[in-house]
Amino acid sequence: MKRHRVHKEKTDIAHSIDWNGLIPKHIAIMMDGNGRWATRRGLPRSAGHYAGMQTMRETISMCHKNGITSLTLYAFSTENWKRPKEEVDYIISLVVEFVQDATVQELNQNNIKVHFIGDISRFPEETQEAMHKVVKLTQANSGMAVYFAMNYGGKNDIVQAIKSYIEVNIEQNKDTSEISEAEFETFLYTGLNPAPDLLIRTSGEKRLSNFLLWQAAYSELWFTDVMWPDFNEQLLYESIRDYQQRKQRALDDITT
Ligand code: IPE
Ligand code: IPE
Ligand code: MG
């Protein structure tokens, strides 16, 4: 009985989306709540991170299946280094595992292009090597782009963009006193694909926590109390439907 109900709700939401209408092209997700998910089950926080990693795999596949063109996943922030070393090491080991296992082959077969945004130079050599390998493996792919935000901070992103802008312009002997917003944002880690249409945060927290500060200037924000390991396709559909309704309302406002 219960199973049937869950299935029905899922179908209803999927059907209430106009798949020919406005679909967010770029979705960014703050995958929050792994620790609380585990603690509530009497498990160590590491179990939450492990479960969260599985949810991340499933979410990439859901987004790919539903025609999303870019997905940015906040996996590790510049502030996350303040956590106990053991937890930080475990999260990093999960990333290495992810970029080395069969999932990556699957991403590649699905024509998905992998990027890392953030200052990855702070990670151990072998972690960086594993990251570079995946980027290289998938660089010619033309399907969905997945951006893993690792040691990412919005403030750091802006500062590194300023540094690169100055460096490039000085190299070319150009005047650095004039700069447009459009030119500036190409120097951000997100490059030519900066702005998420929809930004999702799980776990009930409602803050940006130093994520995509510049890029999210006009993103629609969507929050759920569900902890990241329990995020699923139904919630993804719910966020997309909400996004569509808000965009439709905005369109109606200018046409009436
Ligand atoms: C998000 O879950 C994952 C990372 C920040 C790596 P948390 O670890 O922040 O889980 P909570 O917020 O403590 O529940
Ligand atoms: C944001 O979650 C970072 C990630 C999801 C990787 P946090 O749980 O680290 O955020 P704060 O520090 O509680 O705001
Ligand atoms: Mg958290």
256 located within any domain:
no
Site to probe by mutation for ligand 1, drawn from 34, 90, 202 as the one with most ligand atoms within 8 Å of Cβ, is 34
The span from the first CA to the last CA of the chain, in angstroms, equals: 45
Nearest to 149 by CA among 35, 27, 50: 27
Instruction: Report pLDDT digits (tens) over 42-100.
Output: 999 999 999 999 999 999 999 999 999 999 999 999 999 999 999 999 999 998 898 88
In this prediction, residue 9 carries a pLDDT of 52
Is residue 89 among the annotated active site residues?
A: no
Atom of ligand 2 nearest to the CA of 80: 9
Nearest to 54 by CA among 84, 14, 92, 94: 94
CA distances from 66 to 20, 71, 72 (A): 11, 12, 15
188 located within any domain:
no
Cβ of 81 closer than 6 Å to ligand 2, yes or no, is no
Instruction: Report pLDDT digits (tens) over 10-26.
Output: 557 877 788 888 899 99
Q: What does the alpha-carbon distance between residue 70 and residue 221 come to, in Å, rounded to a whole number?
A: 16
Q: What is the mean pLDDT of the chain?
A: 92
CATH number of the domain bearing residue 204: 3.40.1180.10
249 located within any domain:
no
248 located within any domain:
no
Which range, of 78-87, 206-215, 243-252, averages the lowest pLDDT?
A: 243-252
Atom of ligand 2 nearest to the CA of 203: 8
90 located within any domain:
yes
| Angle between helical axes of 45-65 and 233-255 (0-180°, round to 10) | 50
Cβ of 76 closer than 6 Å to ligand 1, yes or no, is yes
- Structural domain count of the chain: 1
Spacing, Cα 35 to ligand 1 middle (Å): 5
Segment 131-150 mean pLDDT: 95
Name the residue range of residue 134's domain. Answer: 25-153+194-242
16 located within any domain:
no
Cβ of 35 closer than 6 Å to ligand 1, yes or no, is yes
Cβ of 150 closer than 6 Å to ligand 1, yes or no, is no
Burial label, 20 (beta-carbon count in 10 A; 0-12, 13-18, 19+)? exposed
CA distances from 99 to 19, 76, 133, 154, 158 (A): 32, 15, 8, 24, 27
159 located within any domain:
no
212 located within any domain:
yes
Is residue 32 among the annotated active site residues?
A: yes
